[in-house]
């Protein structure tokens, strides 16, 4: 599907020589939602899968999804786990979702947890629910998932079979605010349908009628800051996280503090890069960028917690916890009195 592009997209498409490929080219820009529906109208297969430009499907993806849907007729929508990658396909994060219908249904009504490009659906089910609604200029996938979920079971495969490429230019605060507003609209429509009452009408100004809560924008900006940092875009990460810190929001249940968030990110980076230095470097970088209350003390506390966590992880893996224990104490002397760390240290010596 070429939505009246003005770059070299058409030349690239013309370079593919495969009789199975059908090109659809819009003479004028129709926008994403209408283009998706045009593609659905032309599709003839039993199953429908969308693949976004610039992303990568692992070669086993389609075969695995077709086999699952063939063997599970009650499932009408099937996603997969996926990798978040940068422009060079370096893995920034691995997203594993619930695999079974009940938990997926429970989480989907709260937020859009599915990556659009990972999803395969039954063609007849898409026709039944009417495809994408053109009024949804963004977040059209979430509205569709919610309507499909009311007619069918869902599932995901726990093997990452898709690489979703992170685009640093596609996640501006203004655009994300609009996406969250449309998400709120889709969610309210789903709640109304499931309660047996009329859906709310499409408002003239979705952002004004269904504005995202400041806490939602805050969490979203902070998550994007992590991805920028993991992709090596430290300037963009600093700008994004500084914007998040400056946003007016109240602490809310379920929203991690800066301490908890920084620790989680540091541990993820250490696992991603297979080295502790990457996690500690992030903590030091973060405190150089942000002005947080009692910054030095908080920074040392997070570093201490980071190394303590790595000590327990090392013990579970059969490795010596002592180097991490020592670093934890250097950062925060309160770990010297931690019985758990002394216990695993003693057990490791006995086990040897």
Provide DSSP, 174-187: HHHHHHHHHHHHHH
Name the percent of the chain lying above pLDDT 70: 97
Q: Which spans in the chain are helix H?
A: 9-14, 32-42, 61-71, 101-108, 123-129, 140-149, 173-194, 206-209, 214-230, 234-246, 258-273, 276-289, 295-316, 322-331, 339-351
pLDDT at 14: 76
**100 and 241 co-located in one domain:** no
**228 and 200 co-located in one domain:** no
**37 and 84 co-located in one domain:** yes
**166 and 279 co-located in one domain:** no
pLDDT at 9: 74
What is the per-residue pLDDT across 133-154, written as a single tens digit (0 to 9) for each? 999 989 999 999 999 999 999 9
- CA dist 105 and 349 (Å) reads 47
> Is 7 a member of any domain?
no
Residue ending a domain, choose from 152, 187, 207: 207
**125 and 186 co-located in one domain:** yes
Rounded to 5 degrees, φ, ψ at 57 are -95, 130
pLDDT at 280: 95
Single pTM value for the model: 0.84
Contact between 206 and 178 (Cβ < 8 Å): yes
What is the per-residue pLDDT across 99-135, written as a single tens digit (0 to 9) for each? 999 999 999 999 999 999 999 999 999 999 999 999 9
pLDDT grade, residue 63 (50/70/90)?
A: very high
Q: At what angle do helices 339-351 and 295-316 cross, to 10 degrees?
A: 30
What is the per-residue pLDDT across 311-340, written as a single tens digit (0 to 9) for each? 999 999 999 999 999 999 999 999 999 999
Domain that holds residue 113: 31-207
Residue ending a domain, choose from 207, 234, 268: 207
Torsion angle of alpha carbons 302, 306, 307, 309, nearest 10°? 130
pLDDT at 274: 78
**48 and 178 co-located in one domain:** yes
Q: How many independent structural domains does the chain possess? A: 2
Q: What is the mean pLDDT of the chain?
A: 90
Range of weakest confidence among 200-209, 257-266, 272-281: 272-281
Looking at residues 240-254, what average pLDDT do you find? 82
Q: What is the CATH number of the domain that holds 194?
A: 3.90.550.10
173 has a pLDDT exceeding 60 = no
Residue with tokens 């996926």: 82
Residue ending a domain, choose from 155, 185, 207: 207
171 has a pLDDT exceeding 70 = no
**197 and 234 co-located in one domain:** no
pLDDT grade, residue 23 (50/70/90)?
A: confident
């Amino acid at each position: 599907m070429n939505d009246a592009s003005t770059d070299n997209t058409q030349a690239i498409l013309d370079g593919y020589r495969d009789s199975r490929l059908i090109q659809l080219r819009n003479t004028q820009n129709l926008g994403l939602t209408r283009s998706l529906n045009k593609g659905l109208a032309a599709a003839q297969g039993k199953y429908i899968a969308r693949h976004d430009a610039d992303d990568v499907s692992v070669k086993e993806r389609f075969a695995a999804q077709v086999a699952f849907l063939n063997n599970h007729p009650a499932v009408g929508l099937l996603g997969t786990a996926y990798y978040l990658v940068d422009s060079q396909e370096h893995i920034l994060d691995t997203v594993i979702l619930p695999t079974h219908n009940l938990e997926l249904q429970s989480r989907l009504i709260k937020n859009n947890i599915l990556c659009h490009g990972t999803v395969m659906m039954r063609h007849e089910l898409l026709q039944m629910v009417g495809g994408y609604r053109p009024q949804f200029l963004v977040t059209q996938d979430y509205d569709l998932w919610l309507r499909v979920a009311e007619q069918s079971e869902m599932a995901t495969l726990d093997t990452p079979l898709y690489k979703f490429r992170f685009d640093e230019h596609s996640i501006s605060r203004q655009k994300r605010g609009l996406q969250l507003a449309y998400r709120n609209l889709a969610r309210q429509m789903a709640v109304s349908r499931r309660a047996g009452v009329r859906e709310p009408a499409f408002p003239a100004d979705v952002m004004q009628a269904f504005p995202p809560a400041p806490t939602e924008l805050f969490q979203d900006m902070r998550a994007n800051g992590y991805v920028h940092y993991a992709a090596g875009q430290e300037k963009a990460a600093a700008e994004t996280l500084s914007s998040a810190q400056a946003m007016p929001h109240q602490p809310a249940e379920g929203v991690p503090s800066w301490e908890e968030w920084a620790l989680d990110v540091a541990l993820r980076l250490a696992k991603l890069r297979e080295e502790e230095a990457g996690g500690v470097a992030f903590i030091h970088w973060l405190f150089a960028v942000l002005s947080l209350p009692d910054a030095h003390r908080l920074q040392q506390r997070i570093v201490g917690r980071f190394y303590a966590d790595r000590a327990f992880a090392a013990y579970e893996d059969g490795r010596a916890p002592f180097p991490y224990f020592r670093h934890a104490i250097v950062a925060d002397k309160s770990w010297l009195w931690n019985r758990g760390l002394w216990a695993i240290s003693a057990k490791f010596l006995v086990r040897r």
